[in-house]
Structure 1
Amino acid sequence: MRGLVSILFGFLLLAIAPHAYAQQVGEVPFPAALRGDAFRLESTSLGRGFDIYVRLPLDYDPEGPAYPVVYLLDGDSLFPILAANHLFLTYDEGLPEAVVVGIAYGGFDPSVNRRGLDFQSPDESLSPDQAGAEAFHTVLTDELIPTIEGRFHVDPDRRVLFGQSRGGNLVLYSAVAHPDVFWGRIASNPSLTPGMGSIVGGAASAGRDDLKVAVTSGERDRADLRPEAAFWVETWAGRDWPERPWQVRLFPIAGGTHAANAPDAYRAGMLWLFERREP
Structure 2
Amino acid sequence: MGSTYHIYVRYPEDYTAKPNVKYPVVYLLDGDSAFPLIAPEHLFLTYDDKLPEAIIVGIAYGSFAPPVNHREIDFGPRAADFQRFLADELIPAVEKRTRADPDRRILVGQSFGGNFVLYSAFTMPDLFWGRIASNPSARMHSELMATAPAAAHLDNLRLVVVSGTANNPEGRGAALNWVGQWRKRQLPWSLDEIDIPGGTHAADFDNAYRLGLRKLFDPAGKLAP
Q: Is the 8 A contact 1:173 1:199 kept in 2?
A: no
**1:144-159 maps to which residues of 2 (within 5 A)?**
144-159=90-105
TM-score (norm 2): 0.95
Deviations 1:199-233 (A, max 9, x none): 55111110112000000000110010011111111
Aligned twin of 1:100: 56
- CA distance in structure 2 between the aligned counterparts of 1:216 and 1:194, rounded to whole angstroms: 17
Q: 2:25 aligns with which of 41, 59, 69?
A: 69
* Unaligned runs of at least 5 residues, structure 2: none
Query: Structure 1 vs Structure 2: percent identity of aligned residues?
Result: 52
Q: The residue matched to 2:87 in structure 1 has which SS? A: helix
Deviations 1:185-212 (A, max 9, x none): 0000001323211355111110112000
| Structure 1 residue runs of 4 or more that deviate by more than 4 Å after TM superposition | none
Aligned twin of 2:74: 118
Q: Is the 8 A contact 1:169 1:187 kept in 2?
A: yes
Cα drift, residue 63 of structure 1: 2.6
Q: The residue matched to 1:232 in structure 2 has which SS? A: helix
Aligned twin of 2:65: 109
Aligned twin of 2:173: 227
Q: 1:201 aligns with which of 124, 147, 172?
A: 147
**1:195-274 maps to which residues of 2 (within 5 A)?**
195-198=141-144, 200-240=146-186, 244-274=187-217
Aligned twin of 2:8: 53
Q: Is the 8 A contact 2:115 2:140 kept in 1?
A: no
Q: Name which one, 1 or 2, has greater alpha-carbon Rg.
A: 1
Residues matched between the structures, number: 221
Q: Is the 8 A contact 1:216 1:269 kept in 2?
A: yes
Aligned twin of 1:27: none
Q: The residue matched to 1:277 in structure 2 has which SS? A: coil
Q: The residue matched to 2:169 in structure 1 has which SS? A: coil
- CA distance in structure 1 between the aligned counterparts of 2:224 and 2:87, rounded to whole angstroms: 31
Q: Is the 8 A contact 1:218 1:226 kept in 2?
A: yes
Q: Greater CA deviation, 148-157 or 268-277?
A: 268-277
Residue type at the aligned position of 1:149: E
Q: Is the 8 A contact 1:205 1:245 kept in 2?
A: yes
Higher relative contact order (Cα pairs below 8 Å, separated by 6+ residues): 2
Deviations 1:129-163 (A, max 9, x none): xx110011111001100010010001001000000
TM-score (norm 1): 0.77
Deviations 1:80-135 (A, max 9, x none): 10111000100000100000000000012211101010001xxxxxxxxxx11001
Cα drift, residue 65 of structure 1: 2.0
- CA distance in structure 1 between the aligned counterparts of 2:224 and 2:27, rounded to whole angstroms: 22
Q: Is the 8 A contact 2:33 2:64 kept in 1?
A: no
- CA distance in structure 1 between the aligned counterparts of 2:122 and 2:56, rounded to whole angstroms: 23
Q: Greater CA deviation, 59-68 or 91-100?
A: 59-68
Q: The residue matched to 2:152 in structure 1 has which SS? A: coil
Residue 175 and residue 118 in structure 1: after superposition, are their counterparts in 2 closer, same or farther (change >3 A)?
A: same
